[in-house]
Structure 1
Amino acid sequence: PGFTAEVVTDTMGNIVVYRVESLLAMANAARLYLVLRVFKERVLAGLPIRFTIAKFSSVDFGWTFACKHLLVGWGAVANLSLLWFSFICVSGYGLRVFEFSACQLPTTEAPSCSLQNASRWSLPGTDEFDAHDPDMLRINAVLWCFFITSTSVGYGDFYAKTHGGRTVTVVVTFVGIAFTALLTAALTNALVWSSAESKALLIAERERAKLR
């Protein structure tokens, strides 16, 4: 609070001005990885005396085991959906920071904002176009963009125009494909008969065969 500064960058021939406090806030959001420890403990909380079991069975109840345990039952679908949505929200915040130029703020004092390529952006091989409309960078629009991107649909109604935004989009694409595959695996695993259900079904089939 009370500190602000502007960083002028030239990205693909376009002038983009970043506010330092926005960049620092985005970097601070990366600390959410600390929540993953709590998430791991929550996943493994239902396993009694797991530390004793790990000592005698030589099984590491770490991230790998937690991820495998995460993909069991219908709870896996809810957990993966929550992780996916959380990742999209954090990434969407990063995209907004990179794609929004401070030149669109009335309080910006950077002299570079008076240049034409600060308001009229262009990409190699394309015509000039206006910088992102602030309405296009609303959180609902960004979440829509990343959901469509992470499922590899990609309508093209919104796309990144800066190096930072494109980097975030590439990461979201690969992670989103992984989440899609894991969610599909979780649904498949939840729909497979358990051993108890298979035995019960076999007994029912035998009893029905006796009645014929």
Structure 2
Amino acid sequence: MTLPPYRYRSDVYPSGLYDKWKKFDVPVHICRHPRLLEYIRSVVASCRPWIVQGRVESLSVAVRSTKTGALLTTCVFELRLLACSITNEVKEQVDEVFRRALVQLSAALLTNPLPNDHDERTFRMFLRTIEDTSIPETLVGEQDIQQSWILATPADANDDASAALLPIASTSQPALPLQLNLYLLQPPHNTPAATPSP
């Protein structure tokens, strides 16, 4: 839902590859590259069972410079599904939560742009799972990892350590079947060194 505007505003792909669509009555830019669309669909589909089972802590999309490998920003989605009967009224409220999250994410990306360094950028998706060694069924084993998922390296796991947290959207209304937290992690960007005086 919020991946397309995040990738668009992060300049991961040229703006000419995006078409403007509406999602939850909010204008969003959707990349029309079929392989990227299929990749995103497969990633979301592969983690959907874990989300439904409550085994996912967060899904993150990290944008990096391809030139330096530096982490530029990370968008984090924390989503918990709760047991609740879905009525039309509840569905409308959930749609409103997603609509508000899209608007707030777009506004945050406009007011907190990435450095205009003209570097090429890439993105990685990370799924943080909830694992409890005393409950074997919560452990993610080799047989559970889909083709599109690989285990994160220790460096990947520590990239967020000094990042500033920028809250975007949050909801935890008891009447809704979900809890959502959406935020950006902004690493401290290197400022240019002062030019020494002669």
TM-score normalised to structure 1 length:
0.20
| Structure having the higher Rg | 1
TM-score normalised to structure 2 length:
0.21
* More strand as a share of residues: 2
* More helix as a share of residues: 1
